[in-house]
Structure 1
């Protein structure tokens, strides 16, 4: 396949329509000749139940999210060219309180249609694949939801139990692919039928992340192996064009077994013409993909194939434009362009919507939206002080502390009559809402007073379940060494060095409550963000103590955590499924609610059980939301002061070490 220069949105031209009005046309539509046609592929991905432009955690409208807003772009793109396909790339079912309300409170009775499916049905999707979060509520719930869709779901690597010796013999839950007939108009006005094959993939890591739902019921095959098996069959069945719906990030250029992020490799498979990606909550083409092997960020290509990633929560619509040419009896791609078209822009520190909501989408889900609002506003207790996460990555934090305390409270009860009852209980918790890709407003911010369900969901975003692992003191140290990888190494005596490694996810920054420790930033990180050993001799965790004494490397502890971490999520050293001693039927959020109900009023003061080792004459800087300024000062023993404006609406703060 030959890929020529791509066109940007700014290169649109105008052509005269038959009625005499001017209609915006893409250059491919304008220049197509006989036996050439322009086909558009539109993608949503990682919607996470965000239909309304509304933040249920903050209980206020939000212009950065919502399929109802993305829908307006879909309408405009369909107007620019008549030949278009709309697909979803997965992770639509879980991710905000509406998803939890339907799954845990209202349920799905026979004939019910899930609100996100109602919205998608309104827009006329052609196909969707599954993301990893579709499995968070279990297989039965997922398939009840899928039953309400007016469009097919495909997944080529999810099997009913064991893996066959040949992927084509796998007993799959869903069709691996569909082939849809799409009528296209060539440059001379002649109508043709193009057979478009759509094949889907989910990360194999679902078997770890949702083992409690999937163990003994399902298996996930390597994405690349599944693609190499099924794509030739799609061609054999007459697919002119093959589009991969890959709920998987871009990832490495070299193959490894069961990669979580395998889209770059899928794009390189013979027979794949285009690929829509997701999972990473990024927009491609975009600046975060510059300089990656196998990626042409300017033209929107992965391994030479047109590709797109449409952000998350409806923030962007992914768009691939293909110029097709009839070659004998088949079609081939001769040119392409890609873009992730946004629903908003940031002007200085303000968010400006670029589109309005599509009324039909909002109306389809309005009753569910109102019921969700009533659900999230239900009070469960009180807090004597604010709960916020503006400084959760740089100081012991009350929003993380309350999660850790609830987990300790719960696990201590669960093991009191077991063989582990005499072991000390520690608790590992991480900040989930800590800015990053979510933007400068993506922080927990709960005022003193009533604590409602929306606040608990804000403290703990995911429907993880509580688990406990038995580990040694040595394991605790390595656990913390891995967490400390979020910080850059600094040079003692230098001022204003950047503190945070932006490639390290905040949900992997575990703070362990029940021990005390300092982090020596002058030391190199021991592990990289993927848990690979970088510097075996490095030791950032110093003065690690339990009950005021240096921790015994051989001592045994129970650590309360979640199913993601206990199942190997984040690849933390020594934290493997065989260490699990307790798997709770309760979600972490349910435990937090029950803890607050029992306490009545919580007192979320951080106990400063961790801090940075002093480095004379040294200061570091980090970015957080500008609304955090009212909490700056002495924060759990860390001196935090404003230091100016940051990027994309963030604010810069300084820590003197």
Structure 2
């Protein structure tokens, strides 16, 4: 069984944001690994685990075009001979009509067992809970034996909440593990000899989904049910996704239920094949006939990479693009390159995200400015027009799992459409909430939870924990505050937010504000508490990126980069204390852009990052 996941419309080995070839992403490159694997074993099964339709400039271009041509991803999957695909949460981000139009082109089963379309929905005839895939496989004597593989697909049930505007009540979604437990007996009764679950979720814990965490938010179990699913009787293998991680991986911590080296959950093989086509998940199983039925005798799981890094941490391609798929998607590839080069504004200075995790950053400020101005204009003249409008957003590209290339850089001069997509890479829509000063403080405390607790007087202590992506580190424009790293994080009794002020005065816990944000955050994603319906004062199917583009082109009159003044937030001073953090090697030439920070370059890491020292 071969698996991809979280392709996010990355077909070419090309970075459209940078307008340059890339060896670390693209189904054209993964396809070469697919071809090689098919040469190893007869009767190979090829599956995808969701989030394949949206998440790149190519996806945006296909969603915006009016020509009604074939969908490039559906063409690519048919060309490669996918046997079944699972829906991910982002399949719903652009609405049911676009999803239904794409799936109508599918030449393979499309699965989502826990998605229940309402009567008459266009999606109803296009998806199924499971599929049976038959193969005639040679046994040890070379005799063909008929084997039936049952494939079940599930996705996070909170998708119905995260994308509720786009979904518009067309579907309901049920818990993943519960759904799998219900479907396995039906699949076995239909003749499945082996059952694999395409679970668009992370590994989670054995007790995932048991209740709220220390922050009062629903824990990650609803979207990280891998262990629960693997423990279900009758499930033989699990393919994971959603979290953009790789499994098996020796860097993960083992547990009695999880073997990160052997690639098992509860003793059953499991893979998570990265993102953007970075890896191909491979599960090999040997079957033995006993008591008239096939059962798994042994198994092996691995994640095969399309790229690695050389001795200096630079990307090193391991495969060449598949020629046939490259030719097939070439027209779409060239069209999106031209489309992404369209100017939308200008900036007198470069905008980058190299220091977005350690200071108030122009790449974040400009998004906050756009959101706040849009929401203020929409509320103007209404009953809430008297309230101050603040804005919350996080850096979207600031290293992390995406590596040292995962940063935004917009040179001074024309801001192109691809640059705007680089500043705001996700298909979120605008949302605004009615909040109090006390709620803003809690929001910031939770946003700062990923920083490690720092011992005063210590030298070169790692700043960031490894577990959280950069897009959960929200900053709120319109406020000034400090983050005290000597305090333990939220959830461990710490209070890190110091000197929180609005207009130079201490923030009144009872004062009301309107907070501009996005549908992802306002719906509770990233571990934040979902907003109560009564507190949602604006919710539209207007993309935050479109708001940003309009802001760049109109509101700033061609001077898109925010003026560099005193930062709105900073770390509290800890004399004699230093921390280290990793950033892009290109940051070495940009230290003057953060003169208020005491930064010292140290060395390149094995992963290719530049490690900097920050004196607090």
TM-score tier (shorter): over 0.9
Partners of 2:227 and 2:265 within 8 A in 1: yes
Asked if the contact 1:102–1:108 (Cα under 8 Å) also holds between the matched residues in 2, the reply is no
TM-score scaled by structure 2? Answer: 0.95
Matched, 1:132 2:89: yes
Are 1:100 and 2:60 an aligned pair? yes
Matching residue within 47, 60, 66 for 2:20: 60
Give the distance between the partners of 2:459 and 2:204, measured in 1 at CA.
35
The structure 1 residue matched to 2:598, chosen from 616, 633, 639, is 639
Counterpart of 1:590? 546
Aligned to 1:624: 583
In structure 2, the partner of 1:225 is 178
SS for the counterpart of 1:181 is strand
Does the aligned pair in 2 maintain the 1:267–1:305 contact within 8 Å?
A: yes
* Residue equivalent to 1:569: 525
State which of 84, 92, 105 in structure 2 corresponds to 1:148: 105
Report the number of matched residues.
598
Map 1:14-29 → 2, pairs under 5 A: none
Which residue pairs with 1:5 in the alignment? none
Q: Give the 3-state SS of the residue equivalent to 1:362 in structure 2.
A: helix
Q: Counterpart in 2 of 1:38?
A: none
Partners of 2:560 and 2:278 in 1: how far apart?
35
Residue 349 of structure 2 aligns with which residue?
385
Is the contact made by 2:344 and 2:417 (CA closer than 8 Å) also made in structure 1? yes
**Which has the larger Rg?**
1
Query: Distance in 2 between the 1:505 and 1:108 partners?
Result: 37
Q: Which stretch shifts more, 115-124 or 627-636? A: 627-636
Check if 1:211 corresponds to 2:164.
yes
Mapping of residues 322-333 of structure 1, within 5 Å: 322-333=285-296
What is residue 488 of structure 1 aligned with on the other side?
Answer: 452
Cα-to-partner distance string for 1:19-41 (whole Å, 9 max, x where unaligned): xxxxxxxxxxxxxxxxxxxxxx0
Tell me, in whole angstroms, the C-alpha distance in 2 between the residues paired with 1:366 and 1:655.
45
Deviation at residue 645 of structure 1 after TM alignment: 2.0
Aligned partner of 1:412 in structure 2 is 376
Cα 1:149–1:466 change in 2 (3 A) is same
Say whether residues 1:303 and 2:266 are aligned partners: yes
Gaps of 5+ in 1: 1-40, 163-170, 528-533
Distance change (3 Å), C-alpha of 1:603 and 1:87? closer
- Compared with structure 1, are the counterparts of its residues 208 and 292 closer, same or farther at alpha carbon in structure 2 (3 Å cutoff)? farther
User: Which residue of the partner structure matches residue 515 of structure 2?
Assistant: 559
| Alignment check: 8 A CA contact 2:583 2:612 kept | yes
Alignment partner for residue 177 of structure 1, among 130, 134, 138? 130
Alignment RMSD (CA, Å): 1.6
| Residue 288 of structure 1: how far off its partner (Å) | 3.6
Contact 1:524 1:540 in 2 (8 A): yes
Matched, 1:268 2:231: yes
Offset of 1:290 from its aligned partner?
3.0
The Cα of 1:502 is off from its aligned counterpart by 2.0
Show the counterpart of 1:602.
Answer: 560
Question: Structure 2: how far apart are the matches of 1:433 and 1:477?
Answer: 25
TM-aligned CA deviation for residue 636 of structure 1: 6.2
- The reply on whether 1:337 has 2:300 as its aligned counterpart is yes
Per the TM alignment, residue 429 of structure 1 is displaced from its structure 2 partner at its CA by 1.2
> Retained in 2: the 8 A contact 1:50–1:65?
yes
Aligned to 2:504: 548
CA–CA separation in structure 2 for the residues paired with 1:622 and 1:480: 21
Q: 1:244 to 1:502 in 2, by over 3 A?
A: same
Summarize the Cα distance change of 1:172–1:265 in structure 2 as closer, same or farther, 3 Å threshold.
Answer: farther
Which digits, 9 at most, give the CA deviation of each residue in 1:365-405, with x for residues without a partner? Answer: 11111110011100011001111001100011010011111
Specify the alignment match of 1:497 in structure 2: 461
My pick for the range that moved more, 264-273 or 153-162, is 153-162
Higher mean displacement: 566-575 or 77-86:
566-575
Contact 2:9-2:52 within 8 A present in 1 as well: yes
* Residue number in structure 1 paired with 2:423: 459
Distance 1:573 1:314, change over 3 A: closer
Aligned to 2:215: none
User: Which secondary structure state, in structure 1, belongs to the residue aligned with residue 527 of structure 2?
Assistant: coil
Unaligned runs of 5+ in 2: 211-220
Aligned residues of 2:602 and 2:613 also touching (Cα < 8 A): yes
